[in-house]
């Protein structure tokens, strides 16, 4: 397929893109449009403002970047014209698209406006009433219909997007196609996420060595754990989609802190790399305990847990001596005694976050994608490939079952079971943030579904600010809580 150009005439006449089989109605747009075929090279389309990181993320997710539409036309005022969003009509500030799909295919759209704001759009496939008028019609099994509310946007930041899209001046709509397992339920959808974790989070278990070795992309195994026996060690636990290197890389900028930690713990500083989406916190607990197989002794850890990693730290404190957690047995190896002493919760959803509920996953993916795009220090912590894999899972099952995310929802079974566990005296601490977005990111938050969920609740973009140190079951004393105020510009992944 070659590049195809078309006119946007501001009327309700369907525009048929013959080679792709796509049709669209854009009654409020006057201008030019271009559809680009699938990529044939491994990088991003730099001419369209796409960064290589976006292309890598799509490839990692196992999805196909099939078509990219570029619309050079200003967005009309909301509610202008005679269209409406009910009764099958199309508003002047909307685009209605139909995309032909093959057998066992689904799709979602990525819409990027002129300010670099990204939104995801999902459509249910429907059997076409008649073959689509395109060169691809003979292979069409269904068509997916998408309604895209357009945004009036201009880039209010000098540098534009950084992570996935550079500065752009047009509307971009990407058609991302995924393979769908027939009759898929949430359990099936989790398989794609699990495949991503198995391939791109393959360095599992305990790692150590020097700071350089611990925070390297390929970390160094912890080696003989006997050296930890009877001596206090420091354990670093990363959050969702991340790794020890990704979550804690910026520690290398704090030379004085690193030296203090080295003086206190010597060579007894470890990171625990694990899967955070397809595996539950209880499964992570058992994986951690299994690492001590054949190394009997008494072990004591101080822990720094970022985001979900703090929940895992609480679970280790509650179940490292044995028991069950959310129906999973937690058994330390024979002769192993484990205790978690001081725990520092860094942006941990101790009271849960609504973004982890199954129906919150599309909003979670959208907000984290915009964080990766607009906040450069988020990229090492949040894996863009994982976000695209989560979006693909949502195509496969509207409410994908991902135990590692479900554990973080308010009122989850994990939250209920850990809730009654009393804090370890004055040994728990919290670092939390109230982040106030600005510029284009402020528009993302205001227009996103997650702003309606958080409402007026202070948050760090992902986790409620107060929920790190206060839950229905416990509240940390003020002298054990550090809160970063908006003037510090500390967000969830900073």
Examine the pLDDT at 434 and tell me if it is beyond 50. Answer: yes
Lowest mean pLDDT among 185-189, 195-199, 229-233, 326-330: 185-189
- Give the domain CATH number at 218: 3.40.50
Domain boundary, last residue among 179, 211, 240: 179
In the chain, how many domains are there? 2
Examine the pLDDT at 214 and tell me if it is beyond 60. Answer: yes
What mean pLDDT do residues 123-139 have?
52
Query: 128 and 8, same structural domain?
Result: yes
- Classify residue 385: in a domain, yes or no: no
Query: 343 and 225, same structural domain?
Result: yes
The predicted pLDDT at position 185 comes to 56
Question: Which residues are registered as beta bridge partners of 233?
Answer: 301
- Tens of pLDDT along 395-406? 877 667 789 999
The predicted pLDDT at position 126 comes to 54
Query: 340 and 283, same structural domain?
Result: yes
- From 344, 350, 348, select the one nearest 428 (Cα to Cα): 344
Query: 161 and 290, same structural domain?
Result: no
- Classify residue 226: in a domain, yes or no: yes
- Classify residue 187: in a domain, yes or no: no
Examine the pLDDT at 130 and tell me if it is beyond 60. Answer: no
Examine the pLDDT at 162 and tell me if it is beyond 80. Answer: no
- Classify residue 190: in a domain, yes or no: no
Query: 408 and 290, same structural domain?
Result: yes
At residue 340 the predicted structure's pLDDT band, cuts being 50, 70 and 90, is very high
CA separation, residue 197 to residues 60, 98, 133, 179, 204 (Å): 10, 32, 40, 18, 10
> Does 452 or 233 have the greater pLDDT score?
233
- Classify residue 390: in a domain, yes or no: no
Query: 290 and 433, same structural domain?
Result: yes
At residue 133 the predicted structure's pLDDT band, cuts being 50, 70 and 90, is very low
In which element (H, E) is residue 318 found? Answer: helix 308-319
Residue by residue, DSSP assigns 57-122 as HHHHHT-EEEEEEEEE-PPPPTT-SS--SSTT---TTEEEEEEEE-TTEEEEEEEE-TT--EEEEE
Domain boundary, last residue among 150, 179, 208: 179
Lowest mean pLDDT among 103-107, 121-125, 260-264: 121-125
- Classify residue 119: in a domain, yes or no: yes
d(CA 12, CA 24): 9
Examine the pLDDT at 240 and tell me if it is beyond 60. Answer: yes
The predicted pLDDT at position 156 comes to 58
What mean pLDDT do residues 240-254 have?
93
Domain boundary, last residue among 179, 211, 239: 179
At residue 135 the predicted structure's pLDDT band, cuts being 50, 70 and 90, is very low
Q: Burial, 126: exposed, middle or buried (Cβ in 10 Å; 0-12, 13-18, 19+)?
A: exposed
- Classify residue 494: in a domain, yes or no: no
Which residue has tokens 């899209």?
A: 165
- Tens of pLDDT along 348-380? 999 999 888 888 888 889 989 988 888 877 878
Number of H helices, E strands in the chain: 13, 21
Query: 174 and 56, same structural domain?
Result: yes
Handedness of CA 340, 344, 348, 352 (dihedral sign): positive
Query: 207 and 167, same structural domain?
Result: no
- Tens of pLDDT along 8-50? 999 999 999 988 999 999 999 999 999 998 776 665 566 677 8
- From 418, 405, 419, 307, select the one nearest 357 (Cα to Cα): 405
Residue span of the structural domain in which 23 resides = 4-77+89-179
Asked whether 131 and 137 are in contact (CB, 8 A), the reply is yes
- Classify residue 372: in a domain, yes or no: no
Query: 296 and 159, same structural domain?
Result: no
- DSSP conformation class of 17: E
Most confident of 79-93, 104-118, 326-340: 326-340
Query: 340 and 306, same structural domain?
Result: yes
Query: 104 and 26, same structural domain?
Result: yes
At residue 131 the predicted structure's pLDDT band, cuts being 50, 70 and 90, is very low
- For 409, the 3-state DSSP assignment is coil
Query: 287 and 146, same structural domain?
Result: no
Asked whether 349 and 467 are in contact (CB, 8 A), the reply is yes
């Amino acid at each position: 397929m070659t590049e195809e150009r078309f006119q946007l005439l501001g009327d309700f006449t369907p525009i048929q893109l013959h080679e792709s089989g796509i049709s669209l109605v854009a009654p409020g747009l006057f201008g030019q449009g271009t559809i680009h075929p699938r990529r044939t090279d491994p990088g991003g389309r730099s001419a369209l403002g796409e960064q290589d990181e976006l292309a890598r993320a799509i490839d990692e997710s196992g999805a196909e970047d099939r078509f990219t539409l570029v619309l050079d036309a200003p967005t009309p005022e909301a509610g202008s014209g005679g269209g409406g969003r009910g009764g099958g009509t199309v508003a002047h500030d909307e685009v209605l698209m139909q995309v032909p799909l093959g057998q066992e295919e689904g799709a979602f759209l990525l819409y990027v406006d002129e300010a670099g704001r990204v939104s995801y759009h999902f459509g249910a496939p429907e059997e076409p009433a008649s073959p689509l008028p395109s060169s691809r019609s003979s292979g069409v099994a269904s068509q997916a219909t998408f309604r895209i509310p357009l945004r009036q946007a201009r880039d209010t930041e000098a540098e534009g997007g950084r992570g996935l899209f550079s500065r752009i001046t047009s509307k971009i709509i990407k058609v991302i196609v995924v393979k769908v397992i027939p009759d898929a339920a949430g359990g099936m959808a989790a398989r794609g996420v699990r495949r991503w974790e198995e391939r791109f989070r393959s360095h599992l278990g305990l790692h150590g060595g020097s700071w350089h070795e611990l925070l390297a992309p390929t970390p160094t195994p912890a080696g003989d754990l006997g050296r930890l026996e009877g001596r206090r060690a420091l354990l670093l636990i990363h959050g969702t989609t991340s790794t020890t290197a990704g979550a804690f890389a910026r520690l290398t900028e704090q030379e004085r802190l690193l030296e203090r930690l080295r003086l206190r713990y010597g060579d007894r500083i470890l990171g625990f790399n694990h899967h955070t989406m397809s595996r539950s916190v209880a499964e992570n607990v058992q994986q951690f305990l299994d690492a001590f197989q054949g190394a009997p002794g008494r072990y004591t850890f101080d822990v720094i847990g970022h985001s979900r990693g703090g929940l895992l730290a609480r679970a280790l404190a509650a179940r490292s001596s044995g028991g069950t957690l959310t129906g999973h047995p937690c058994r330390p190896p024979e002769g192993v005694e484990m205790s978690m002493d001081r725990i520092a919760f860094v942006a941990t959803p101790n009271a849960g976050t609504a973004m982890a509920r199954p129906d919150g996953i599309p909003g979670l993916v959208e907000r984290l994608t915009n964080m990766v795009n607009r906040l450069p220090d988020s990229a090492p912590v949040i894996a863009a490939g994982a976000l695209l894999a989560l979006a693909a899972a949502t195509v496969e099952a509207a409410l994908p079952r991902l135990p590692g995310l479900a554990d973080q929802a308010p009122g989850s079974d994990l939250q209920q079971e850990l809730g009654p566990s009393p804090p370890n005296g004055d040994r728990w601490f919290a670092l939390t943030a109230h982040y106030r977005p600005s510029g284009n990111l402020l528009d993302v938050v205001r227009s996103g579904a997650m702003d309606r969920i958080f409402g007026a609740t202070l948050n760090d973009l992902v986790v409620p600010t107060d929920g790190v140190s206060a839950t229905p079951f416990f509240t940390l004393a003020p002298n054990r809580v550090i809160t970063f105020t908006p003037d510090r510009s500390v967000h969830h992944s900073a």
